[in-house]
Structure 1
Amino acid sequence: MKRHALLIAAATVCTMTLATSAIAAPAGSWTVGVGAGYVMPTDDNGSLVNDTLKVDLDSDTRPTLTGEYFFAENIGVEVLAALPFHHDMTLTDAAGNVIKAKTQHLPPTVSLQYHFDNMNTMVKPFVGVGVNYTTFFKERIYLNESSLKVKDSVGVAGHIGVDFPIAARDAVRVDARYINIEPDVELNGNDIGTVDINPWVFGVSYIKSF
């Protein structure tokens, strides 16, 4: 339940505030953001092969790019892109034997967002909810000649953050996302279970308004 709190809060606030008047992000304006995102998978990544292999994924940081178009005052649609994230995977059986694996992924995300720009001219929080599509590639498992495949995943995503204006059209953004990523996994073409990645993504970026 706790890991879905951000999604519930984002959806609730978006629903309650869509009709609220605001002044700082007029319809037709847009922003571009360049920064970095730290992907931190959930502590419990589940298990594979009938619960015989416990899965653990590490975290990674990569450059990110965002673009947001405001189709109404303070209500925008944002697209998140990034360079591929890399994750090492550790598979551990009941006897403590370890199998190493790795994968890369791209997690493009589209969010509907509401910006509370009328609350404080120096601090501008926002909240959003949307959908994520994560595609995996360059999977590898160090187990003889075995072949590992992590399938693509679609899930909901929640987003909260704060913009700190540094000029009329410039800001520094600090944000956090919760993304539902639970891909199915195949070994040598056979389904062996699902990995619970479900990461928090923490970001810092420079935002330019147009």
Structure 2
Amino acid sequence: MQIRVGGLCFMQNPVINKSKGRKMTKKLAALTLSTALVAFAAPVFAQNQGDWTVGVGVGYLDPKSDNGSLAGLDADVDSDTRPIFTAEYFVRDNLGIELLAATPFSHEVTLGGSLDAGTVKHLPPTLSLNYHFPTNSVWKPYVGAGINYTIFFDEKSALGDLELDNSVGLALQAGLDYMVTEKGAVRLNVRWFDIDSDVTLNGADIGTAEIDPWLVGVSYVHRF
């Protein structure tokens, strides 16, 4: 089957069902959030004011299932997995300011379920204020909120000159650290980002991409 856009003719690709992957992402998010909220007991150990932590891991970024409408067609942005990095400074006991960075995530964008609209890369630097619950166990949950600044670049499309505007939005997270040594921990966390980007094609506004992804991450975190 063919789709004609602006005088150009494109063949449709088979529709890819991402519902299973997104259901799994939501289950992981719910598990991490619920565990982080109930896995703490009486306070004994704390992250001390002046401490630093650095984390290195991998993150699976999964945009929401409905990514808005572009050029009158339903848009779909696929998932990607990349290395992620964090650095956190504790301004008070148990209260830290964290910066999230990553290598560029890459996404394919389809329209109408099967029309290949192009590819785009983005960087998701995020600044958050985190509260780490003090516990008397090796399990240490935390929650955080902050600001995400998403930088889109390297847009490519056979349809023409594709551009996505950078985005500023809310970022929320919850996580759980498992202490493997006195200063080292394995971290599982889930983040949600409010990411909306105005999209232009050949200089014309064709709509807004509503990405709003979940990021599920696993990292090793070391405290200094």
Length-normalised TM-score, structure 2: 0.79
Shift of 1:142: 1.6
Is the alpha carbon distance of 1:97 and 1:157 closer, same or farther for their aligned partners in structure 2, counting shifts above 3 Å?
Answer: closer
* Mapped partners of 1:97, 1:28: distance in 2: 52
Secondary structure of the corresponding residue to residue 208 of structure 1: strand
Tell me which amino acid in the other structure corresponds to 1:47.
S
Once the two structures are TM-superposed, the CA of residue 148 in structure 1 deviates from its matched residue by: 0.1
1:81 aligned to 2:101?
A: yes
1:1-210 to 2 correspondences below 5 Å: 23-49=45-71, 52-92=72-112, 98-118=115-135, 120-143=136-159, 146-210=160-224
Q: Is the 8 A contact 1:23 1:74 kept in 2?
A: no
In structure 2, C-alpha distance between the alignment counterparts of 1:22 and 1:45, rounded to whole Å? 45
Aligned partners of 1:65 and 1:193: how far apart in 2? 32
Matched residue type, 1:104: K
Distance 2:116 2:182 in 1: 53
Deviation at 1:97, TM superposition (A): 6.6
AA aligned to 1:43 is: S
The 2-side partners of 1:200 and 1:70 are apart by: 25
On the 8 A contact 1:22/1:116 being kept in 2, the answer is no
AA aligned opposite 1:99: D
Q: Quote the offset at 1:54 in angstroms.
A: 1.1
The amino acid of 1:66's aligned partner reads T
CA distance in 2 between counterparts of 1:203 and 1:22 reads: 27
Q: Which consecutive segments of 4 or more residues in structure 1 shift more than 3 A? A: none
TM-score (normalised: structure 1): 0.84
CA contact (8 A) 1:31 1:208 kept: yes
Q: Corresponding residue for 2:19?
A: none
Q: d(CA) in 1 for partners of 2:205 and 2:216? A: 32
**Whole-Å Cα distance in 2 between the matches of residues 45 and 186 of structure 1?**
15
Q: What is the aligned length?
A: 188
Q: Aligned in 2, Cα 1:79/1:22: closer, same or farther, shift over 3 Å? A: farther
- The question of whether the paired residues in 2 share the 8 Å contact of 1:132 and 1:156 is answered with yes
Distance 2:91 2:115 in 1: 51
Distance 1:191 1:70 in 2: 43
Call closer, same or farther: CA 1:97–1:80 in 2, change over 3 Å.
Answer: closer
* Identity between Structure 1 and Structure 2 (%): 49
Cα 1:48–1:161 change in 2 (3 A) is same
